[in-house]
Structure 1
Amino acid sequence: MEGMSEEVHSGTVPMKDTCEHQAECLKKIQAILDGGATEEEKEHFKLNMDICRPCIEMYKLEKCIKEALQGKIEKKCCPEKVATAIRSQIVS
């Protein structure tokens, strides 16, 4: 099969070396890491990660980037005056 390596992962299924749905997979990975994925999306991704090397690598990279950014961001409370001004503009 094209795109499959000779290496066997999980005992039975050959590991894919290419991903035909990379853009969609990236969106799912980001949703999973951001906590916005459905249980169905999480389960589908878990199954896919067992056989798709590009998705595994993309997940590791996205997770690493998110963790690095979270460590660099200083969290501050928004002044109530600013929050009120934003709310009033949204409502208007």
Structure 2
Amino acid sequence: MDKELDKSGQRKLECADVSRCFQLLERIIDGNNIPDSKEIIQEKLAKCQPCFEHFHLEKAIKEAIHTKCTKFCMSEDMKSDIRKKIQEIKLDAR
């Protein structure tokens, strides 16, 4: 993963390893036990604009689903369909 700021000291506009970074950030958001996860998030979000945007979008989606969908009974098939659709949209966005 790219750990450098661009020459102006701003977040980089392109991520050197988008797929790997996004997967790691998603695993952290999902609560997987990732060693040094706080440090990884602080570093990536401070230095990489795509990671910053992806992290906050994923977090907002997860929070919206949690607050809006947990009050309704939903079949496992429907949950699975929603998860698949979210994954398809994320893949299309990359």
When normalised by structure 1's length, the TM-score is 0.60
1:15-65 Cα deviation digits (max 9, x unpaired)? 200001111111111111111132323312321211111111001100010
Unpaired runs of at least 5, structure 2: 74-94
The equivalent residue for 1:58 is: 54
In terms of fraction of residues, the more helix-rich structure is: 2
Q: How many residues align?
A: 68
Distance 1:5 1:38, change over 3 A: same
2:70 is matched with which residue: 63, 69, 73? 73
1:24 is matched with which residue: 17, 20, 35? 20
Distance 1:15 1:5, change over 3 A: farther
Coordinate RMSD, CA, aligned: 2.3
In terms of fraction of residues, the more strand-rich structure is: 1
Letter in 2 for 1:4: D
The equivalent residue for 2:6 is: 4
Distance 1:5 1:60, change over 3 A: farther
Unpaired runs of at least 5, structure 1: 7-12, 77-92
**Identity across aligned pairs (percent)?**
28
Please tell me whether Structure 1 or Structure 2 has the larger radius of gyration of its CA atoms.
Answer: 1
When normalised by structure 2's length, the TM-score is 0.59
